[in-house]
Chain A
Amino acid sequence: MDLYRAHVLVCGGTGCSSSGSAKLIERFEEQIAANGLDKEVKVVRTGCFGLCEAGPVVIIYPEGTFYSRVKVEDVDEIVTEHLLKGRKVQHLVYVDHKTHESSVQKSLAEIGFYKKQQRVALRNCGVIDPENIDEYIAFDGYQALGKALTEMTPEQVIDEILKSGLRGRGGAGFPTGKKWQFARASQAEHKYFVCNADEGDPGAFMDRSLLEGDPHAILEAMAIGGYAIGADEGWIYVRAEYPIAVKRLEKAIEQARDYGLLGKNIFGTDFSFDIHIRLGAGAFVCGEETALMASIEGRRGEPRPKPPFPAVKGLFESPTNINNVETLGNVAQIILKGADWFRSIGTEKSTGTKVFALGGKINNTGLVEVPMGVPLRTIIEDIGGGIPNGKKFKAVQTGGPSGGCIPASLLDIPVEYDTLTSVGAMMGSGGMIVLDEDNCMVDIARFFLDFTVDESCGKCTPCRIGTRRMLEILERITEGKGQEGDIEKLENLAENIKNSALCGLGQTAPNPVLSTIKFFRDEYEAHIKEKRCPAHHCQALLNYVITDKCRGCTLCARKCPVQAITGNVKEKHVIDTQKCIKCGQCMANCKFGAIIKD
């Protein structure tokens, strides 16, 4: 292996790729060669570093210098200054949003965003080249598989996972060891081990980053799981919208086969296991396990009642175990370091870490991995760096379309499965969308219902028709046509749908509505009774008002498409609220900031 004095790590995750990191790599390689450094400096395209807000991100080792929002034009300067002369390029170094401190003197681990994180599932993301199996092996890769196959019985493997307390990271939090136990207990000629990579929750992209940044970790975990339950075939069901992840998985499977880590008689034992990929085609419901299996079988992705559970009768009628990507990301580490090590992280009932995708109105958008049980406030304020533009925090939405909104008053709750469920939210897959004072909670509920109505497969009536009725009520409330009794109607429908829908999608669809009613009932009431949107978001409930800042320039009157604005030149103008269609053109065009929403 060649030795290099410096490594330039360029993020090749989806966020940074979207903002042009591939061109950075090209330019770095050109410039490094042009300066005769190609024997001394290596450029590596890694997986996601997590801090997508600062992308495209470049990290240079051994110093661990963190350059953010790097453009192609900046590359020459980094090469000649940093790599050739050893001087950090000050103006490109990442600056902390919260403290306004430059990270020139700091290494990665000391930056506010990373300080309170602990990486287990994402340990290799942003560290290794995901397309090179040797780098994975150099970081203890496939050692856990070797240990499981040569030193442990399948029962011992399951026992270790059970003892670790690992729970499903995809939503419901079912104990992984138990699932494996059930699948092991089923007697059959064939069994399947399936990885659910149909990450459909809007705003959650940890599975994608893990697949893109460390694909071998998932393959290794599937092989370990396959050995534990007695499966000989694995399937990965991955969203077609994730082309980079698919490409890296395909490459990883090929490499693992070449090395004999997948295929016949792995590690010289009589255990044989191979993995196939199946692409999704854009249906959210396929994240539900029975729908996912129907889709792999080439049918419409409609769920079916359970039992029989997949562990008894699953894919192609055979016993099947299904785990989510992030769950699998922990497996090899548990086998290698032991259940006790894993239990030492997190809380009694929620062991280990959890990855969250921070997004929305927050300074540091990106992926964070924290020990279970940290206060929500730590994630939002310390790691997330607070709310941009001096706005006020209003709520954080967790669990996507199945979850709920947590208000500011509950910011100190620990983040773990049971606590989140008890406040009407949900761990879900780990999307965390921060909302500020400008976001209307009724509209957020409407947004999620719109999503579930669109994604409902239509098989069962409560979900197909019930969610549509709920959406209609929410739409009329946000349009200013809400009626007395609408809130109660929503609650009533919600209870019935929760109790009677066929699958998880329908059963949890009302959650965003229920939790916003629970914590923000006054906003619903303001819409219905006072025809007012407190967040000034709902277009139909807004009134545009001209303040005393008006200089009488007449621009707004000329821009108004319905001639609702009157006034003389150099005098304050007035908007006729009866005529106004609330298009906002006046406010957008006013040069003096004289028009406000009321």
Chain B
Amino acid sequence: MPDNKEKYAQLQEAIAKHKGERGAVMPVLQEAMNIFGYVPQDVQEMIADGLGTTLSEVYGVSTFYSQFSLEPKGEHVIGVCLGTACYVKGSQKVLDKLSEELKIEVGRTTKDGKFTLNATRCLGACGLAPVMMIGDEVYGRLTPDQVPEILAKY
């Protein structure tokens, strides 16, 4: 992992790359998400300054889209699909079980910073419903009983 100084340098590079481009706020925020994992206020300020716009403009965009997070996320982000196909096949019960096992509400991160639990939109893997993702790994055809075993892998 690059240290903080390096991360800010990467952010400046991203800003320089998109500066002058029309509609640059979103791609820069997306790059900032990749670099930092979230977009805290000082990062948003740097983006606003760098692109010659205001913090309110950047903040307006970062709070509108669900992909941008203003808080740091856990080491492993769990996303349980609550798309229609998964929902009718019982993904809510999988989500409830995860919430019970991790002792956190949906949208929160465990105290040790290991897991963040999210409910996501359709992942497009409806043939495998119900589906969840942990990081980039996809788990399909789930039942609530499989949850403890899967969590134990991490």
Contact = CB atoms under 8 A, between A and B. Distances in A.
B84 A18 contact: no
A316 interface: yes
A298 B22 CA distance: 8
Contacts of B25: 298-299
B119 to A, nearest CB: 10
Given A283-B66, A300-B64, A431 B127 contact: no
A366 B122 contact: no
B85 interface: yes
B36 interface: no
A18 B123 CA distance: 10
A200 interface: yes
Interface in A1-55: 14-15, 18-19, 51-53, 55
A241 interface: yes
Nearest to B63: A300
Contacts of B26: 278-279, 281, 295, 298
A88 B22 CA distance: 56
Contacts of B82: 202
Contacts of B89: 360-361
A365 B85 contact: yes
B16 interface: no
A202 B125 contact: no
Contact of A296 (B23, B61, B126, B128): B23
A439 B88 contact: yes
Nearest to A299: B61
B64 A52 contact: no
Contacts of B121: 200, 202, 241, 282, 284
Nearest to A277: B27
B125 A15 contact: yes
Interface residues of A, number: 51
A583 to B, nearest CB: 11
A489 to B, nearest CB: 25
Nearest to B92: A447
Interface string B65-92: 1111000000000000011110111000
Given A203-B85, A208-B124, A357-B126, A19 B140 contact: yes
Contact of B84 (A55, A203, A240, A300): A203
B20 interface: no
A435 interface: yes
A200 B121 CA distance: 8
A359 interface: yes
Interface in A233-247: 240-242
B23 A278 contact: yes
Contacts of A279: 26-27, 30
A297 interface: yes
A433 B67 contact: no
Contacts of A241: 121, 123-124
A236 to B, nearest CB: 14
B131 interface: yes
Interface string A433-444: 101000100001
A279 B138 CA distance: 22
A211 to B, nearest CB: 11
A115 B75 CA distance: 47
B88 A361 contact: yes
B85 A18 contact: no
Contacts of B95: none
B60 interface: yes
A299 B138 CA distance: 32
Contacts of B138: 18-19
A570 to B, nearest CB: 28
Contact of B124 (A14, A19, A361, A439): A14
A301 interface: yes
A316 B64 CA distance: 20
A133 B107 CA distance: 42
B24 interface: yes
Given A52-B126, A203-B122, A282-B66, A447 B23 contact: no
Interface in B112-153: 121-129, 131, 138, 140
Contacts of B123: 14, 241
A281 B66 CA distance: 7
Contact of A53 (B22, B65, B127): B127
A201 B122 contact: yes
Given A19-B128, A240-B30, A301 B65 contact: yes
A543 interface: no
A433 B127 contact: no
Contacts of A316: 22
Interface in B22-68: 22-27, 29-30, 60-61, 64-68
Contacts of B84: 202-203, 359-360, 397, 400, 431, 433, 447-448
Contacts of A431: 84
A366 B128 CA distance: 10
Contacts of A435: 88
A514 B138 CA distance: 35
A205 interface: yes
B54 to A, nearest CB: 13
Central interface residue in B25, B87, B127, by most chain A CB within 10 Å = B127
Contacts of A357: 126
A207 to B, nearest CB: 9
Central interface residue in B30, B66, B87, B126, by most chain A CB within 10 Å = B126
Contacts of B22: 297-298, 316
Given A203-B122, A278-B23, A298-B22, A365 B127 contact: yes
Contacts of B126: 15, 52, 203, 205, 357, 359, 365
Contact of A242 (B124, B128, B140): B124
A299 to B, nearest CB: 7
Nearest to A439: B88
A300 B127 contact: no
A15 B83 CA distance: 14
Interface of B: 22-27, 29-30, 60-61, 64-68, 82-85, 87-89, 121-129, 131, 138, 140
13 contacts: A14-B124, A18-B128, A18-B131, A19-B128, A51-B127, A52-B126, A201-B122, A279-B26, A283-B64, A300-B60, A365-B126, A433-B88, A448-B84
The 3 A-B residue pairs with the shortest CB-CB distance, nearest first, are A52-B127, A298-B23, A359-B85
Interface of A: 14-15, 18-19, 51-53, 55, 199-205, 208, 240-242, 278-284, 295-302, 316, 357, 359-361, 365-366, 397, 400, 431, 433, 435, 439, 444, 447-448, 457
Given A18-B140, A279-B27, A280-B65, 8 more contacts: A15-B124, A15-B126, A205-B124, A298-B23, A298-B24, A360-B84, A360-B88, A444-B88
